[in-house]
A and B are shown apart, each in its own frame.
Chain A
Amino acid sequence: MKSYFLSDQNLSAFVEGLMSKYPVIAPVAKRSRFVFEKLVDASELRLDYDTTILPPKKVFFPAKQDLIHFDQHGFTCCIDPTEQVLLGAHPHDIKGIAMSDIFYSDRHCDNNYMANRKATTIIGSSVQNHYKHAFFGTMNAERPLTGHDLFMTAIEGGFAVDVVTERGEALLPLGTFEPATEAQVAAAVEVNRKAEEDCPEKLNGTAEEIREKVRTSFKSPVWEAFAEKCFSCGSCNIVCCTCYCFDVQDEWNVDGVSGSRFRLWDACLTREFSEVTSPGGSENFREERGERYRHRFMRKAAYLNEQLGGPACTGCGRCSGACTANIANPTTVINKLLEQ
């Protein structure tokens, strides 16, 4: 792998170079937190962010995505990707994107997602500050980091930049890079190792242990015990890197003859999610909060674990932070199950 050094002084010029050719989506400050947003000015970039409110999945799978536009004459599909750069994704978020790529391409290829994904060049960046709920050092830490094109690690005086793909390499002429020294490459390895080690929260158990233990805990009272406090709000789903469920709805335009069919992020923790209409009312296949709460954990830790070879979790900790009832923290729940 080729490695280069980008000095702190040259960062802005590189970002401006990227912005001159592509829309650049990157972490920027929003009040006391950070969000992935299209950069308007290179100075907005905050590679020292701890986490973003929403994961970068929104770059490929926006919270509301048009699928079909229709009018009285016919209908057209809305796959119209823009070549863009996602800058500053943390390693665990990149792993989340790689997992989503599998979900969306498995069995039926979902081009409404994949087209946006294929049109996006990803420049990862090292974790400089930890989100207080992060546990990526012990969740899928062994999982290979793939799916990105360049990776920037903050080291003394600038960044060690690893070239992962030719597509990433093609961006280098937009900045001033010099070959990285062996010491700089070694320093980057250490920075990323330390970032994993310094995660404030820790998960016990290997991918297999988690899969087996969670699967066999289907009837455990643990689910109900936690879910008792659940508001069924679905915040844990919405902020999750690997939650990809959605609802599909139609909407008329004001003209009354045209409109759109679109998908919206949906959440299996909400009561409506598993509801079906029946004569005179509805039936719900996951009526109880405990059933819905369990379903999400089962899906992440057991069902998708089988497909991915590891839990569908990146250890980003966003769910822990988003949960009003403070019951979503995967380390608390899974560690408790592992103890039993």
Chain B
Amino acid sequence: MSCSCTTETESLFLPQVAEIIDAKMITATEKHFTLKLQNGERFDYAPGQIVEAGLFGYGEVPLGLASSPTNGTSFDLVVRVLGKVTKALVGLEKGDVMTIRGPLGNGFPVEEFTGKDVLIVAGGIGLCPVRSMIEYILHHRDDFGRFTLFFGAKTPSDLLFEEDLEAWRCESCMHYMDTVDTPDAAWKGNVGVITTLFEKTEEITPDTRVIICGPPIMYKFVIAELDKLGVARSNIYVDLERRMKCGVGKCGHCQINDKYVCMDGPVFRYSDIQTLEEAI
């Protein structure tokens, strides 16, 4: 595929083409893609940034980058089958191409986390965008203090990135804890909503920097736990999701009051948006 555009009339909607170098279903509804730009250039981005991933004839969807930019030239995306576009994307296999626009938005302010204890709280598919930060921290492990990851899923079969989870469980330089809402017969781990993990660790100090990403309902309950622990709301970062159509602050779909998730987010300092009614 090629494009005939010149820079003077370059459209914000013009994507790049990315080749799928690996693709595998990681749950019944989620597919993990590893991609490379077809033009051979490195796709440069910050942990927490998003892209509009698309397939012509179907459309585009906003997705958080699911790998750290320190991973080399490839990058990861995870697509959950939800609608027309995601259904089409999940049909793609190794060797196929999809289109990418981005990186878009603001990622995690890594400098604010440097030298600090870090807690990441991820619910369900919310693990995908924060995986960019998890990998980043593991690649720069000495730059951060204690690192704790909470992951909650509905059932054991909804746990994403099985290989990662195995590695993280054994990792001595991080404390990984997970829980499921509904266990199956084989499950021997924690059962309960993600906030129950707070009772099971003493590691979260008031000076911890926290990242939260998950279903809308999860945020306020996690924040209530953090309030109890005395974590300042200015040290909490929330990664929000909206159905962004343009990703460049024009189409209006992702507006939360006067903020654009695509431009001012998707990562927000919680104290900056805590009074916005439509945020979470």
Which of B11, B253, B258, B278 is the one whose CB lies under 8 Å from A68? B11
What's the least CB distance linking A282 to chain B, in Å?
Answer: 9
B215 in contact (CB, < 8 A): yes
Which of B241, B251, B263 is the one whose CB lies under 8 Å from A247? B251
- Mask: chain B, 10-50; 1 = CB below 8 Å from A; 0 = not: 11111000000000000001000000000000000000000
Which of B5, B10, B57, B246 is the one whose CB lies under 8 Å from A248? B246
Residue from B242, B248, B258, B277 whose CB has the most chain A CB atoms within 10 Å:
B258
Evaluate whether A274 and B56 lie within 8 angstroms (CB atoms) in the complex, with A68-B14, A74-B2, A75-B3 already known: no
What's the least CB distance linking B16 to chain A, in Å?
Answer: 11
The reply to whether B13 and A77 form a contact with Cβ atoms under 8 Å apart is: yes
B201 in contact (CB, < 8 A): no
- Mask: chain A, 227-248; 1 = CB below 8 Å from B; 0 = not: 0000000000000000011111
Which of A5-13, A21-29, A43-51, A297-305 interfaces with chain B?
A297-305
What's the least CB distance linking A259 to chain B, in Å?
Answer: 5
- Mask: chain B, 240-277; 1 = CB below 8 Å from A; 0 = not: 01110110111111011110000100000000000001
B172 in contact (CB, < 8 A): no
Interface size of B by CB at 8 A reads 40
B59 in contact (CB, < 8 A): yes
The reply to whether A266 and B249 form a contact with Cβ atoms under 8 Å apart is: no
Quick one: closest A residue to B52, CB to CB? A248
**Please, how many angstroms separate the alpha-carbon atoms of A103 and B260 in the complex?**
13
- Chain A residues whose CB sits within 8 angstroms of the CB of B83 once the complex forms: 277
Evaluate whether A278 and B246 lie within 8 angstroms (CB atoms) in the complex, with A250-B56, A273-B253 already known: no
**Please, how many angstroms separate the alpha-carbon atoms of A33 and B77 in the complex?**
51
The reply to whether B59 and A261 form a contact with Cβ atoms under 8 Å apart is: yes
B82 in contact (CB, < 8 A): yes
The reply to whether B250 and A110 form a contact with Cβ atoms under 8 Å apart is: yes
**Interfacial residues, chain B to chain A (CB-CB below 8 A):** 1-5, 9-14, 29, 56-60, 80, 82-83, 215-216, 241-243, 245-246, 248-253, 255-258, 263, 277-278
Given contact pairs A107-B249, A248-B251, a sample of 11 additional A-B residue pairs in the complex whose CB atoms are under 8 Å apart: A68-B56, A70-B57, A76-B4, A108-B249, A111-B9, A246-B246, A247-B245, A266-B253, A268-B252, A295-B278, A303-B257
Q: List 30 A-B contacts (CB under 8 A).
A: A73-B2, A75-B3, A77-B14, A78-B11, A108-B12, A108-B249, A110-B12, A110-B248, A111-B10, A218-B277, A244-B252, A246-B250, A248-B59, A248-B246, A248-B251, A250-B58, A252-B57, A261-B13, A261-B56, A263-B13, A266-B251, A266-B252, A268-B252, A268-B255, A274-B242, A278-B215, A279-B29, A295-B257, A298-B257, A298-B258
**Interfacial residues, chain A to chain B (CB-CB below 8 A):** 67-68, 70, 73-79, 103-104, 106-112, 115, 218, 244-252, 259, 261, 263, 266, 268, 273-279, 283, 285-286, 291, 295, 298-299, 302-303, 306
